[in-house]
Amino acid sequence: MEMEMEIETLNNVMCQFTDREGTPLGAALYLPQNAGPQQLQQIVNKLLNNEEKLPYAFYISDQELLVPLETYLQKNKVSVEKVLSIVYQPQAIFRIRPVNRCSATIAGHTEAVLSVAFSPDGRHLASGSGDTTVRLWDLNTQTPMFTCTGHKNWVLCIAWSPDGKILVSGSKAGELQCWDPATGKPSGNALLGHKKWITGISWEPLHLNATCRRFVSASKDGDARIWDISLKKCVICLSGHTLAVTCVKWGGDGIIYTGSQDCTIKMWETSQGKLIRELKGHGHWVNSLALSTEYVLRTGAFDHTGKTYSSSEEMKKVALERYDKMKGNSPERLVSGSDDFTMFLWEPAVSKHPKTRLTGHQQV
């Protein structure tokens, strides 16, 4: 029995835990030599009666203990006949808080907010409302910058130019208005031509045109129109749908896609407005379109680094690099959502037939 006790003691080492100020944590105690930092954490948490187990780092002679006690003792030729002083030090705890609460409420509109859009650099927000105004907000301070007045009816959709220098809004009255985000003032008179309300706006990608002059609008009147903000007029009217155009996207390959209540998606070239291809398959209205490259088309040359550019040509070059990287070797993909409860995935440059049909939704 005495022999067993002696062997057990030989395999243990007498240790004294102390904090950084040298205050001992309880009495010295025997610890097995194969104990490492993880076991020491359990012991310290128990001695401190911590309800929540906290992480600790351990130091012997100002050297952090990262191995079992036995390895440390042998490497540093430390005698086990003396009490080994171990300093424990709490480590920082990093907790990721789930996004389950509102971080800020930005009040100002007096009627329903109908559309919102981030600026390409992510620093500002634009919102359109039933109170007929467009408001610009500083997201860093979460405060209002400008209230843009001039629309005569609800502001249904808004879109920033990919260089961030122009904001365009469309209303229920069918008018489009360009704004200068730096001042909140209108850039010229309203653009008139649509006979019914605006359902969508999309800008020509920056990597295709450094001047950011053109955008396309879709309307309940069944047409889509390409506008030139320098000429301040409609330059091409895209007619062909038999019912309302519900959504529009200007793709990275220079093709405009329009979705309609006539159950089709049409593809248009943008120099003369000729119809290229018609995508059929949905059994009900086409309600929405999304492109696989949409993020880089919207943000242009801007990324998370906050880099600024000295010229529009420099921005165009960077935007093209970002687009090519996003697209890779694959064709640009399009997803359409419909009142028939389904989505179709298309590769429009490759085929007029959908690549796959996505089902599962039970309601619109």
User: CATH number of the domain that 321 lies in?
Assistant: 2.130.10.10
Instruction: Give the separation between CA 143 and CA 106, rounded to whole angstroms.
Output: 7
Whether the per-residue pLDDT at 135 is higher than 60: the answer is yes
3-state secondary structure of 356: strand
Domain co-membership, 239 together with 129: no
Domain co-membership, 261 together with 343: yes
Instruction: Give the separation between CA 31 and CA 229, rounded to whole angstroms.
Output: 79
Average pLDDT over residues 90-116: 81
Domain co-membership, 150 together with 58: no
Model confidence band, residue 4 (pLDDT cutoffs 50, 70, 90): very low
Domain co-membership, 212 together with 351: yes
Domain co-membership, 172 together with 232: no
Model confidence band, residue 7 (pLDDT cutoffs 50, 70, 90): very low
Considering the domain boundaries, does residue 340 fall inside one?
Answer: yes
The last residue of one of the domains, among 60, 90, 120, is: 90
Domain co-membership, 153 together with 281: no
CATH of the domain at 82: 3.10.20.90
Average pLDDT over residues 178-188: 95
Average pLDDT over residues 150-176: 96
**How does strand 233-238 pair with strand 224-228?**
antiparallel
The last residue of one of the domains, among 170, 192, 214, is: 192
Instruction: Give the separation between CA 129 and CA 110, rounded to whole angstroms.
Output: 8
Whether the per-residue pLDDT at 73 is higher than 60: the answer is yes
Domain co-membership, 211 together with 298: yes
Whether the per-residue pLDDT at 142 is higher than 50: the answer is yes
Instruction: Give the separation between CA 333 and CA 335, rounded to whole angstroms.
Output: 7
Q: Which of 335, 308, 331, 332 is nearest to 120 (CA)?
A: 308
Domain co-membership, 266 together with 364: yes
Residue 166's domain spans which residues? 111-192
6 vs 331, more confident: 331
Adjacent-strand bridge partners of 155: 171
157: number of Cβ within 10 Å: 23
Nearest-5° Cα angle at 209, 219 to 137 = 65
CATH of the domain at 159: 2.40.10.480
Domain co-membership, 218 together with 344: yes
Considering the domain boundaries, does residue 95 fall inside one?
Answer: no
Long-range Cβ contacts of 64-70 (<8 Å, 24+ apart): 65/36, 65/37, 65/40, 66/37, 67/36, 68/33, 68/34, 68/35, 68/36, 69/13, 69/15, 69/31, 69/32, 69/33, 69/34, 69/35, 69/36, 70/33, 70/34
Model confidence band, residue 97 (pLDDT cutoffs 50, 70, 90): low
Output the pLDDT for position 39: 94
In terms of Cβ atoms closer than 10 Å to its own Cβ (0-12, 13-18, 19+), residue 228 is middle
Q: Which residues of 351-363 are buried (b: 16+ CB within 10 A; e: fewer)?
A: eeebeeeeeeeee
Considering the domain boundaries, does residue 179 fall inside one?
Answer: yes
Average pLDDT over residues 70-98: 85
pTM here is: 0.72
Q: Give me the chain's average pLDDT, please.
A: 91
Instruction: Give the separation between CA 172 and CA 199, rounded to whole angstroms.
Output: 9
Considering the domain boundaries, does residue 41 fall inside one?
Answer: yes
Domain co-membership, 158 together with 21: no
Query: Using an 8 Å Cβ cutoff, are 13 and 35 in contact?
Result: no
Domain co-membership, 264 together with 329: yes
3-state secondary structure of 255: coil
Output the pLDDT for position 363: 76
Q: pLDDT (tens digit, 9 = 90+) per residue, 24-59?
A: 999 999 999 999 999 999 999 999 998 888 899 999
Output the pLDDT for position 119: 95
Model confidence band, residue 252 (pLDDT cutoffs 50, 70, 90): very high
Whether the per-residue pLDDT at 5 is higher than 50: the answer is no
Query: Using an 8 Å Cβ cutoff, are 352 and 279 in contact?
Result: yes
Considering the domain boundaries, does residue 106 fall inside one?
Answer: no
Average pLDDT over residues 274-294: 95
Q: pLDDT (tens digit, 9 = 90+) per residue, 222-241?
A: 999 999 999 999 999 999 99
Residue type, 353: H
152 vs 98, more confident: 152
Instruction: Give the separation between CA 333 and CA 337, rounded to whole angstroms.
Output: 14
In terms of Cβ atoms closer than 10 Å to its own Cβ (0-12, 13-18, 19+), residue 99 is exposed
**How does strand 84-90 pair with strand 12-18?**
parallel
Considering the domain boundaries, does residue 98 fall inside one?
Answer: no
Considering the domain boundaries, does residue 32 fall inside one?
Answer: yes
Considering the domain boundaries, does residue 220 fall inside one?
Answer: yes
Output the pLDDT for position 95: 67
Whether the per-residue pLDDT at 20 is higher than 50: the answer is yes
Q: Which residue shows structure tokens 């981030």?
A: 118
In this predicted structure, which of 97-101, 135-139, 257-261, 340-344 has the lowest mean pLDDT? 97-101
Q: Which of 262, 266, 282 is nearest to 274 (CA)?
A: 266
Output the pLDDT for position 172: 97
Structure tokens at 250: 């200007």
Instruction: Give the separation between CA 299 and CA 210, rounded to whole angstroms.
Output: 13
- Total of domains in the chain: 3
The last residue of one of the domains, among 192, 217, 238, is: 192
Query: Using an 8 Å Cβ cutoff, are 147 and 131 in contact?
Result: no
Domain co-membership, 27 together with 169: no
Model confidence band, residue 266 (pLDDT cutoffs 50, 70, 90): very high
